[in-house]
């Protein structure tokens, strides 16, 4: 799917933060058959059919049934959207002349509307991608609202500076929007290639990951097992920053594996609209088959299948929570992003060894270390080559903190003040100051 927007920041997406005290709040009962009110392309504040009149089916991953037909945009629709966005960006346009504080007010208004329709939007999300309704309601929608309100606050505060330039000059900077921005989700590698072959388009990319989750022998065992499970299985394992390489120090390895297998076996897989469900279906049939293929590869290459490994239902794209032990770094399941509920647990001896192994990956999106020793925590977190390092926690996100990767995990950052930089040009204005009255 391709979305073209004006010169505004994108909404928060992707991996969500941990469930917090919000989980104690009452959640309205879901409507498992929400009305599909909009299935067209939104351009210039209006809904449009695709110019080609083409549509594509969107599938309920819990049943394999068609939810509805959705307008299928192509180049002509993109051109139409870009034309509208460029008109909004023209010098003297109502949007360009709008006060920055008023733009912030509009973002807050959008957040208000999302809060108003939170249950409906959560039900649509669950119907469309299989995410448990309680997670969609408590986590995803909560993060969207907080993200909008955070950047609404920045609208009249991300200002330039005055600079004490040598000589009789007054120098200041302005932060100005780059112009029309295209948001394409996902296909990041294709975007990077296309940008390189064109006219030096600026790109920010949040790509894949194979994030190491390091459990030192002095870690709180109960907490480390819980968090490692959460790090991998949250969102059916479909998180780019999932803790998909679980490294456990050798003297606690056996106990950790035993507890992790027990926890995976007790994970509730089923109807995503049921409040008891912890894991819904994978997002589509292609991903479902891909995950089962990786499981077969893991077994074939000698990893020890400790639980799961099969479809979890007769229909729909459900995969059993799966745990592999005795995984080696050179195995396919230890090197490639599976993007599913497949946990790989590996053994290590020393901190120096694990730092080298953790960094020996083309990815560098996220990492974590669990330890009670603050010196070890600081040492490991500084040594890891990753855009986010969690210490004694995992999947903790906030609109205020930057997110992005090293190496093949992406370019640039989303969220926080750093997330604004990709959307701005910095203009230097220097004025001659006369030293005499003429």
Q: Which residues contact 309 (CB under 8 A, 6 or more apart)?
A: 295, 299, 320, 322
CA–CA separation, 91 and 133 (whole Å): 44
Closest Cα to residue 407, out of 358, 365, 352?
A: 365
- How does strand 366-370 pair with strand 212-215? parallel
For residue 164, give both structure tokens: 């004490």
Widest pairwise Cα distance in the chain: 89
Q: Which two tokens stand for residue 166?
A: 């040598």
Asked whether 15 and 395 are in contact (CB, 8 A), the reply is yes
Q: How far apart are CA 73 and CA 393, in angstroms?
A: 41
Distance, CA of 123 to CA of 285 (rounded, Å): 21
Nearest Cα to Cα of residue 383 among 369, 393, 395: 369
First to last CA, the chain: 62
CA-CA distance, 101 to 98, in Å (whole number)? 8
Q: Helices (DSSP H) in 117-220: which residue ranges? A: 118-129, 133-135, 141-154, 188-197
Q: Would you name the residues annotated as active-site residues?
A: 206
DSSP secondary structure code for residue 65 in this structure: E
List beta partners, residue 432. 169
Helix, strand, or coil (residue 372): coil
Phi, psi of 175 (to 5 degrees): -100, 115
**Range list of β-strands (E), 64-168:** 65-71, 162-163
Q: Is the peptide bond before 381 cis (omega within 30 degrees of 0)?
A: no
């Amino acid at each position: 799917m391709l979305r073209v927007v004006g010169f505004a920041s994108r909404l928060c997406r992707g991996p969500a933060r941990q469930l917090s005290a919000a989980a104690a709040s009452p959640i309205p009962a879901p409507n498992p058959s929400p009305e599909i009110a909009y299935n067209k392309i939104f351009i210039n504040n209006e809904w449009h059919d695709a110019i080609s009149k083409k549509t594509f089916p969107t599938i309920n991953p819990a049943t394999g049934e068609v939810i509805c037909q959705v307008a299928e945009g192509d180049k002509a629709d993109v051109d139409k959207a870009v034309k509208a966005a460029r008109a909004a960006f023209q010098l003297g346009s109502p949007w360009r002349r709008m006060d920055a504080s008023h733009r912030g007010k509009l973002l807050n208004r959008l957040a208000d509307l999302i809060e108003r329709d939170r249950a409906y939007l959560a039900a649509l999300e669950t119907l469309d991608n299989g995410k448990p309704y309680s997670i969609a309601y408590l986590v995803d929608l909560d993060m969207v609202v907080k993200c909008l309100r955070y950047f609404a606050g920045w609208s009249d505060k991300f200002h330039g500076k005055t600079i004490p330039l040598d000589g009789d000059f007054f120098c200041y900077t302005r932060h100005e929007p780059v112009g029309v921005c295209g948001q394409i989700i996902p296909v990041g590698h294709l975007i990077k290639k296309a940008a390189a072959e064109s006219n030096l388009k600026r790109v920010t990319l949040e790509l894949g990951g194979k994030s190491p989750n390091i459990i030192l022998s002095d870690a709180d065992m109960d907490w480390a097992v819980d968090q490692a499970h959460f790090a991998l299985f949250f969102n059916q394992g479909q998180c780019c920053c999932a803790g998909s390489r679980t490294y456990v120090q050798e003297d606690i390895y056996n106990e950790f594996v035993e507890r992790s297998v027990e926890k995976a076996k007790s994970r509730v897989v089923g109807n995503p609209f049921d409040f008891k469900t912890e894991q819904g279906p994978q997002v589509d049939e292609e991903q479902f088959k891909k995950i089962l293929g990786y499981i077969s590869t893991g077994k074939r290459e000698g990893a020890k299948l400790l639980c799961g490994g099969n479809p979890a239902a007769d229909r729909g794209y459900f995969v059993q929570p799966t745990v592999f032990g005795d995984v080696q770094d050179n195995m396919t399941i230890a090197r490639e992003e599976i993007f599913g509920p497949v946990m790989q647990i590996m053994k290590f001896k020393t901190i120096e060894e694990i730092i080298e192994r953790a960094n020996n990956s083309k990815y560098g999106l996220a990492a974590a270390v669990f330890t009670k020793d603050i010196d070890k925590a600081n040492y490991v977190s500084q040594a890891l080559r990753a855009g986010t390092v969690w210490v004694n926690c995992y999947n903790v996100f906030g609109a205020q903190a930057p997110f992005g990767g090293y190496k093949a995990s992406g370019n640039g950052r989303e969220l926080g003040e750093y997330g604004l930089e990709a959307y701005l040009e910095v203009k230097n204005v220097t004025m001659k100051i006369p030293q005499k009255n003429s």
